[in-house]
Amino acid sequence: LRVLVLHGPNLNLLGSREPEIYGSQTLADINAALMLEAEQAGVELSCLQSNAEHELIEAVQQARGHYQFIVINPAAYTHTSVALRDAFQAVQIPFIEVHLSNVHAREPFRQHSYLSDIAEGVICGLGSMGYEFALQFAIKHLRSPT
């Protein structure tokens, strides 16, 4: 069982980026916690961060046949990227959309997502725990899809 975790633009700055909104954990902290959770469950996990839309799209395209589930924080591309949506629709890999902050309590432009309606689920506002819950779901889902 293989799960892919994708982090979108500016998430490489976690820890120092607006900590009152995004928390004080770094991306490395978050990935390390996820790797541990996956290891304990006997699931293979890969984590990738990119500031480039095309790299995220390529990662989704290449996930076909290699990963059974994707957890993604698309960051700002959530609100802009038809291309990322099209990639998910093309590969048909189930995914969860995660946001650290509660996007619904912020600027209006963060309240629309190009991905939410085709996601298995959406988690926002729970900080880094959101990723952990998403991974827990993925593990359960992969073990018994129904």
What residues form the annotated binding site for substrate?
73, 79, 86, 100-101, 110
Residues contributing to the site for ligand DQA (CB under 6 A): 10, 73, 75-76, 78, 99-101, 103, 110
Q: How far is the CB of 10 from ligand DQA (least distance, A)?
A: 5
Q: How far is the CB of 42 from ligand DQA (least distance, A)?
A: 28
112 counts as catalytic: no
Q: What is the DSSP letter of 5?
A: E
Length in residues, the chain: 146
Catalytic residue among 22, 67, 114, 131: 22
Beta strand 121-124 pairing with 2-7: unpaired
The strand ranges marked E within 8-145 are 44-49, 69-73, 95-99, 121-124
99 counts as catalytic: yes
